[in-house]
Structure 1
Amino acid sequence: MSATAQSTEEHGAASQLAAMPEDWTRALAVVAHPDDLEYGAAAAVAEWTAQGKDVTYLLATRGEAGIDTMEPAEAARVREAEQRASAAVVGVSEVEFLDHRDGVLEEGPALRRDIAAVIRRHRPELVLTINHHDTWGAGPGSPWNTPDHRALGRSVLDAVGDAGNRWIFSDQMEKDGVLPWGGVRWVAVAASPAVTHAVPVGEEAARKGLASLLEHRSYIEALTDEDPEEYARSIVYGGLDMYGRQNGGRRSVAFELHAR
């Protein structure tokens, strides 16, 4: 994912973003590919884990179609390893993969079922996901979002409701022994063109956010001819500074927040 930080200077640039809720202990971050969280949201994760909050990562694919010069099987191996290393940088030790196919994620019951099962198992209060809107920005001509991100984000929003309904995917309770979980209080959408809330990020969390993106070196080197460190710094700090202008001048990660 390379367009993430472009979200929305033109959308509500003059308005102050609200503070993200802090009265929670468990979060589940659900995205489509390795690196989706590292294009901005990982700095917020670093802040949360430093406070003792528990964050788990769930990825729908292993990003096997993301490196043109690498065969999918090898890309999946490399990108999984990079994602686990990246998560560890920001204090996340549990990283799970659903093994849906990269590039052809389908919004619908199959993906919702898999996500709902993990929500029921981990029982988070906050669910974090990626931009499900058609574009990355709010203005005319904004870059078009990818099919995987749109399908994943929308399926996450639906799966949160599914997880709390005992009559949806009921076989999970019989087969896996999980119980319904209606305790998700918020869904936070990263890289949205319609951000509403922000998490101030200190220097240490910003540094970890940068380091977490740099763990995806194979992907970055295939994506751009720029020096990886310069590229990653421009993405991470550019996004933090952009949202900081909407949050009292404090470097921030911003989300579109949905209350449940």
Structure 2
Amino acid sequence: MTEQLRPMPTDWRRALAVVAHPDDLEYGCAAAVAAWTDGGREVAYLLATRGEAGIDTLEPERCAPLREQEQRASAAVVGVSRVEFLDHRDGVIEYGLDLRRDIAAAIRRHRPELLVTLNHRDTWGGVAWNTPDHRAVGRATLDAAADAGNRWIFPELTEQGLAPWSGVRWVAVAGSATPTHAVDATVGLERSVRSLLAHRTYLEVLTDQDPEEYCRTFLTGHVEASAERFGGRPAVTFELFAR
């Protein structure tokens, strides 16, 4: 018997989503974000890079502002107005103290109860190798949840006026091969399609398929594949770590 996914917690007001690149959140997570903002919750995005190494035909200095613009437009579709970039280098993000400090600082600024990140493990379900950027940012986000609440870790943040924040109650990992929880994607699915479609510069290089058809097919298949484990409803899945 297939183990059922539990509904994500709803007793929170603020979330911070931390990923490596523009479009990371749109590949399967935006429908959940739309549901959350519809419910009056605040969601902010933090991106480690501007995705400047993601398009082979565009030099990084030209690519970065285009992808930043598309990310802001994409976020707005699902009700997110606060989008920040850390300016780590795309493709060569290093897991370490600098990354943990940057994410901890953002957690202290935004004071979320829920952190969202992307699959931090070596593979996508043992089928495909995950990228170094995803692994580094996912792991650093899980670690920074604790760093943000400890005044003796990165004390310079306190000196900069960023008081410790120990209010993170959960870290939700999207794209996990071992999900535990889910959000109903029924209402947010259409906006998630438009949110991914906002990354048109990237999509037109990525696929020869019509961009809207590509986005709709990918995202619909993704949420419908989880329906069996969520009462027949299309779902965005997460592996939830309680704190």
TM-score range normalised by the length of the shorter chain: over 0.9
Q: How far apart in 1 are the matches of 2:228 and 2:92?
A: 36
Moved more, 244-253 or 58-67: 244-253
Q: How far apart in 2 are the matches of 1:249 and 1:65?
A: 39
Q: How far apart in 1 are the matches of 2:178 and 2:99?
A: 25
User: Among residues 87, 99, 106, which one is paired with 1:111 in the alignment?
Assistant: 99
Q: How far apart in 2 are the matches of 1:150 and 1:207?
A: 29
1:200 is matched by which residue type in structure 2? Answer: D
* 1:172 and 2:160 correspond: no
Q: Once the two structures are superposed, what CA deviation does each residue of 1:95-131 show, in whole Å capped at 9, x if it has no partner?
A: 0000000000111100000000000111000000000
Structure 1 unaligned spans of 5+: 1-12
* 1:259 and 2:242 correspond: yes
Q: How far apart in 1 are the matches of 2:228 and 2:19?
A: 26
Within a 5 Å distance, the mapping from 1:150-161 to structure 2 comes to 150-161=135-146
User: Among residues 234, 237, 250, which one is paired with 2:220 in the alignment?
Assistant: 237
Moved more, 229-238 or 35-44: 229-238
Within a 5 Å distance, the mapping from 1:56-205 to structure 2 comes to 56-138=44-126, 142-175=127-160, 177-203=161-187, 205=188
Matching residue of 1:220 = 203
Instruction: Say which SS state the counterpart of residue 195 (structure 2) adopts.
Output: helix
Aligned length: 243
1:246 is matched by which residue type in structure 2? Answer: R
Q: How far apart in 2 are the matches of 1:214 and 1:106?
A: 29
Instruction: Say which SS state the counterpart of residue 198 (structure 1) adopts.
Output: strand
| Residue identity (%) | 65
Instruction: Say which SS state the counterpart of residue 166 (structure 1) adopts.
Output: coil
Q: Once the two structures are superposed, what CA deviation does each residue of 1:146-175 show, in whole Å capped at 9, x if it has no partner?
A: 000000100000011100000011111112
Q: After the TM superposition, which parts of structure 1 deviate over 3 Å for at least 4 consecutive aligned residues?
A: none
Q: How far apart in 1 are the matches of 2:114 and 2:210?
A: 35
1:88 is matched by which residue type in structure 2? Answer: A
How many angstroms does 1:246 deviate by?
1.3
Q: How far apart in 1 are the matches of 2:144 and 2:46?
A: 13
Matching residue of 1:10 = none
2:14 is matched by which residue type in structure 1? Answer: R
* 1:37 and 2:25 correspond: yes
Q: How far apart in 1 are the matches of 2:101 and 2:72?
A: 24
Q: How far apart in 1 are the matches of 2:213 and 2:29?
A: 19
How many angstroms does 1:234 deviate by?
1.3
Q: How far apart in 1 are the matches of 2:225 and 2:137?
A: 25
Instruction: Say which SS state the counterpart of residue 122 (structure 2) adopts.
Output: coil
Compute the TM-score of the two structures, normalised by the length of structure 1.
0.92
2:203 is matched by which residue type in structure 1? Answer: I
Instruction: Say which SS state the counterpart of residue 49 (structure 2) adopts.
Output: coil
How many angstroms does 1:202 deviate by?
2.2
How many angstroms does 1:244 deviate by?
1.4
Q: How far apart in 1 are the matches of 2:93 and 2:218?
A: 26
Q: How far apart in 2 are the matches of 1:108 and 1:174?
A: 21
Instruction: Say which SS state the counterpart of residue 45 (structure 2) adopts.
Output: strand
1:127 is matched by which residue type in structure 2? Answer: L
Instruction: Say which SS state the counterpart of residue 209 (structure 1) adopts.
Output: helix
Q: How far apart in 2 are the matches of 1:242 and 1:137?
A: 14
